[in-house]
Amino acid sequence: MTPGTPPIRVAVLGAGTVGAEVAARLLEHGDEFASRIGAPVVLAGVAVRDLDAPRTPALPRELLTTDIENLVLGANIVVELIGGVEDARRAVLLALESGADVVTGNKALLATHGPELFAAAERVGAQLNYEAAVAGAIPIIRPLRDSLAGDHVLRILGIVNGTTNFVLDRMDEHGDDFAGALATATRLGYAEADPTGDVSGADAAQKAAILAGLAFHTTVPLEAVAVEGIERVTADQVRAGRAAGYVVKLLAICERLTGPDGTEGVSARVHPALLPRSHPLAAVRGANNAVFVQSEAAGDLMFYGAGAGGRQTASAVLGDLVSVARRHVVGGPGLVPQPAGADLPVLDPGVVRTRYQITLSVRDEPGVLARLAGIVAEHGVSIETVEQSRASDDGTASLIIGTHAAPEAALSATVEALGAAAEVESVAGVLRIEGLERGDAA
Ligand code: HSE
């Protein structure tokens, strides 16, 4: 480091589990970071809502402030970890407009206001890095932005929510039902007090929008991500899946595909799915995350690790900080990893090709199977497997139909028609089957 190099002033906004860890590691490893960056790094302050709130790790009181604006205006790099959308958006825009570079781990902010923030960064030549926004400690943003920039990403299958993976894993390993598995996740600290955003798939949808945008160089609005959560996954479905060689996972699926009229486009969706136990993602247990990327030249890649946790996520934030600070020292305009360039249309979820496993409760009478098979065929859907249980005392049997790949719209219309058939007592459940082969997309 050249003697006299001016220090880089870092402001950390938020001292929750990630923010406090980032600040503490900056204080503890400042010399090491300085030698990697080529300039001293100074933690200018940490913005908090409550100066007296207990926090782990503890931070020196004199670094804490409730005055975000003043802290931001005196910083070269702003690390936004306050969460939420509006306050974070204001702070990030203020930082960019004042000439600071920004590191954020805020997926909700990027999924809802990404284009505005990327444009602001581009306009002022600032950097906006967000490795921690998707899958915690796992490096996936920079691999998509940089390492795969010379390739053609075809598809991403991601387990990007640890809470739901923990819950589904409990259901698979212990036979728990959804409520029991969620209660265990809460008791062990894997689920938040209000787990709605996780179990509904909303958290994974934000991450899917970010991943799809980067992978396909296209803005994918959050509203365009089709989302289903895991609340209706039953212990019976998980058990039946297990018996058939599948595991149920909540997947974020981003695909490049061709619509029926030949339009090239992209799609992003989040839903529980049956995945063959031989698939690499099936081995992702507990609260871990993994992102499986299929690309034209590189082939299949998998990124695996901790998707949450203060210390683990701080690693991704600090990696961004070192990278941003290094460029700050070297000079030159910022490199904003923004989802732009190709601007492919986001196609209607109905054109996505997938497979369904449909579980029906049916009257066990002559001709039922043939009539139901006829309904499936009328929708242009081909049956791959059929399994029927013995009828119970009330004369109903359980029929599990596995389909070949077909457009989502045809499959959902098939389920609706089956549900309306006189022979069907109820549609007990529907799960998509994913990961059987490359090229499920049209
Ligand atoms: N709540 C998320 C999860 C972590 O359970 O994976 C932060 O996105």
Q: Going by DSSP bridges, is the β-strand pair 264-276/299-306 parallel, antiparallel, or unpaired?
A: unpaired
Q: Which residue has 């059929």 as its token pair?
A: 386
Picking from 112, 59, 107, the residue whose alpha carbon sits closest to that of residue 80 is 107
- Beta bridge partners, 371, equal none
At 385 the three-state DSSP class reads strand
Q: Atom 2 of ligand 1 has which residue's CA nearest to it?
A: 161
At 386 the three-state DSSP class reads strand
206-to-211, 226, 384 alpha-carbon distances in Å: 9, 11, 33
Structure tokens given for 430: 């529907």
At 138 the three-state DSSP class reads coil
Distance in Å, CA 134 to ligand 1 centroid: 9
Residues in Cβ contact with 54 at an 8 Å cutoff, skipping those fewer than 6 apart? none
Residues in Cβ contact with 177 at an 8 Å cutoff, skipping those fewer than 6 apart? 171, 234, 235
- Rounded-to-integer distance, Cα 137 and Cα 99, Å: 28
- Beta bridge partners, 299, equal 295
DSSP 30-82: HHHHHHHHTS-EEEEEEE-S-TTS--SS---GGGEES-HHHHHHT-SEEEE--
Distance in Å, CA 383 to ligand 1 centroid: 37
All structural domains of the chain, each given as residue ranges with its CATH number in brackets, are: 8-138+311-330 (3.40.50.720), 141-305 (3.30.360.10), 352-441 (3.30.70.260)
Annotated catalytic residue, options 207, 249, 328, 379: 207
- Beta bridge partners, 388, equal 399
Residues with CB under 6 A from ligand 1: 161-163, 198, 203, 307-308
Please tell me the predicted confidence (pLDDT) of residue 338: 60
Picking from 204, 206, 166, 160, the residue whose alpha carbon sits closest to that of residue 186 is 166
Q: What is the pLDDT of residues 298-347, one digit of tens each?
A: 999 999 999 999 999 999 999 999 999 998 888 876 665 566 677 899 99
Picking from 372, 347, 349, 346, the residue whose alpha carbon sits closest to that of residue 359 is 372
Angle between helices 408-420 and 368-378 in degrees, nearest 10: 150
Dmax (CA) for the chain in angstroms is 89
Best residue for ligand 1 mutational test, from 134, 163, 285 (most atoms within 8 Å of Cβ): 163
Structure tokens given for 244: 């058939």
Q: Atom 4 of ligand 1 has which residue's CA nearest to it?
A: 308
Averaged pLDDT score across all residues of the chain? 93
DSSP 214-279: HHHTS---GGGSEE--STT--HHHHHHHHHTTEEEEEEEEEEEEE-TTS-EEEEEEEEEEEEETTS
Q: What is the DSSP letter of 145?
A: I
Reply yes or no on whether 249 is catalytic. no
- Rounded-to-integer distance, Cα 409 and Cα 160, Å: 26
Distance in Å, CA 413 to ligand 1 centroid: 33
Picking from 441, 434, 437, 439, the residue whose alpha carbon sits closest to that of residue 275 is 434
Please tell me the predicted confidence (pLDDT) of residue 261: 87
Residue 18's H or E segment, with its range, is helix 17-28
Spell out, as residue ranges, where the chain has pLDDT lower than 50: 438-442
State the Cα torsion 427-428-434-436 to the nearest 10°: -90
Residues in Cβ contact with 23 at an 8 Å cutoff, skipping those fewer than 6 apart? 12, 15, 43, 46, 59, 63
Q: What is the pLDDT of residues 174-206, one digit of tens each?
A: 999 999 999 999 999 999 999 999 999 999 999
Rg (CA), the chain: 24
Distance in Å, CA 316 to ligand 1 centroid: 15
What are the counts of helices (DSSP H) followed by strands (DSSP E) for the chain?
A: 14, 17
Residues in Cβ contact with 66 at an 8 Å cutoff, skipping those fewer than 6 apart? 47, 48, 49, 50, 51
Atom of ligand 1 nearest to the CA of 163: 5
